[in-house]
Amino acid sequence: MKSLFLLLTVLFSFGLFGQEKLVLQNLFDATLSEEVSCYRIPALTTAPNGDLLAAIDERVASCSDLGTNPNINIVLRRSTDHGKTWSEIEKVADFPEGQSASDPSFIVDMQTKNILLFYNYMNVNEEKGVYYFHVMKSNDNGKSWSAPQDITSQISEKDWSRDFKFITSGRGIQRRSGQLLHTLVNLEHGLHLFGSDDHGKTFFVRDKPLLPGDESKVVERADGSLMVNSRVNSGGMRYAHFSGKNEATWHAEPQPELIDPSCNASMIRYTEKADGFSKNRILFSNAKNNRERKNMTVRISYDEGQSWGEGKTIYQGLAAYSTMTILENGNIGLLFEGDGYTKNYFTQFSLEWLTDGKDRLNKHSKKKY
């Protein structure tokens, strides 16, 4: 009996399949600062050297969005030990009072080993309602950043100057060809893809809008086509946009199984057979509820986004925007807004934990994990 009791104690302490219980780390908490109103809109990525970078809005004047807030900075924390510990908060984009930067997102260029950090900018005092797009670059795994580059004229039209437009927060992708690709939203003219064919020296925007669509994420499918998963502001579910192989044609499909309270979500490629993995896998995280921002859940698609499993609840309480990355060891990293925008939780878990032991990584891939 004693040995059985000890065995059960070990199982419950470490969880099923020899893994520790889910640990939530609150990386950004405005209640700990007298100067910050709230931290919102997280972005998360894995640097080429394996470091984790977590960026977010530091909203000083109030918790309101870019259009009316005269003091929002982009701040960042780093982990050099796979998410066990994190650095102090450092400012990455910090403009004078009256100018704000918001909605960070990353693309890691694995060919050049550079990291691109995008955000939306506004001079609230002098050009209130006029949105600009900026990018900063790092060639040292996010330890230092270039001066901001204004790419607004490259990825938007002249008649968009006073439209409500923004680059989606979270992250974009690098395709197998090396092309960088991301999403931006113009609430007057629709969802658009933008990117770069020369590693961020210049940028383009696709003129064909995808509708319906708000904040969105894009992945390259195994056959080279694209899938964009979109927030919409009615109906309580997500929409998916699928391209043909040459992107000349697109079609939109409602995804009623992906219930959603009209909130930004995350979607990333996890594994692909072309890299030596046994299965194609795409991950999706959102607040799994059709009315309220709560119940943060992560799901898997094994058929390139045509269908999704029920997923596993990560956090039952209030939860909103989320962003994911893959750690060097193959764990899935998740950063999400929680508890009514007062906390921003980071956690990580394995594929085996996520699937209750039904799926696991094979060990013959070309990637580190």
Joined together, the tokens standing for residue 43 give: 């972005």
Q: What is the pTM of this model?
A: 0.93
- Residues 147-185: pLDDT tens digits? 999 999 999 988 898 999 999 999 999 999 999 999 999
**Are residues 308 and 301 in contact, defined by beta-carbon separation less than 8 angstroms?**
yes
The answer, yes or no, to whether residue 11 has pLDDT greater than 60, is no
pLDDT at 274 over 60: yes
Residue 153, number of CB atoms within 10 A of its CB: 11
Is 187 inside a domain boundary?
yes
Q: If you average pLDDT over every residue of the chain, what do you get?
A: 93
Number of separate domains in the chain: 1
Residue with tokens 């919409």: 232
Domain annotation covers residue 115: yes
In this prediction, residue 6 carries a pLDDT of 33
In a domain, residue 232? The reply is yes
d(CA 136, CA 127): 22
**3-state percent breakdown (helix, strand, coil) of the chain, nearest 5:** 10, 45, 45
Give the model's confidence band at 341: pLDDT under 50 very low, under 70 low, under 90 confident, else very high.
very high
What long-range pairs does 350-358 form, CB within 8 A, spacing at least 24? 350/19, 351/270, 351/281, 352/17, 352/19, 353/15, 353/16, 353/17, 353/19, 353/22, 354/298, 354/300, 354/312, 355/300, 355/312, 356/16, 356/17, 356/312, 357/16, 357/17
Residue 4 resides in a domain: no
Mean pLDDT of 196-221: 96
Q: Is 16 helix (H, G, I), strand (E, B) or coil?
A: helix
Q: Is the pLDDT of residue 96 over 60?
A: yes
CA 193 and chain centroid, separation: 16
Instruction: Please state the rounded mean pLDDT for residues 125-142.
Output: 97
Amino acid, single-letter form, for residue 349: F
- Low-confidence winner among 233-247, 310-324, 326-340 (lowest mean pLDDT): 233-247
pLDDT digits 0-9 by tens, 289-320:
999 999 999 999 999 999 999 999 999 999 99
Question: What is the per-residue pLDDT for 124?
Answer: 96
pLDDT score, position 247: 87
Query: 96 preceded by cis ω (within 30°)?
Result: no
Task: Write the pLDDT tens digit of every residue in 31-82.
Answer: 998 999 999 999 999 999 999 999 999 999 899 999 999 999 999 999 999 9
Residue type, 242: F
- For position 364, what pLDDT does the model report? 59
Structural domain including 331 reads: 22-354
Confidence of residue 285 (pLDDT cuts 50, 70, 90): very high
Check: CB of residue 73 under 8 Å from CB of residue 98: no
User: In the structure, what pLDDT confidence band is assigned to residue 16 with cuts at 50, 70 and 90?
Assistant: very low
Angstrom distance (rounded) from CA 344 to CA 346: 7
**Is residue 5, in this structure, part of any structural domain at all?**
no
Whether 51 is in a domain gets the answer yes
pLDDT band at residue 348 using 50, 70 and 90 as cut-offs:
very high
Q: Which residues, 6 or more positions from 107, have their beta carbon under 8 angstroms from its beta carbon?
A: 115, 116, 118, 171, 172, 173, 174, 180, 182, 200
Query: Is 57:71 a contact under the CB 8 Å cutoff?
Result: no
pLDDT number for residue 57: 98
Integer Cα distance of 121 and 54 in angstroms? 19
What gap in Å lies between CA 68 and CA 252, rounded to an integer?
Answer: 33
Helices (H), 106-225: 152-155
CATH of the domain at 302: 2.120.10.10
Structure tokens given for 207: 């003129």
Q: Is residue 369 part of a domain?
A: no
Taken in order 66, 68, 73, 79, the sign of the CA dihedral is negative
Does a structural domain hold residue 86? yes
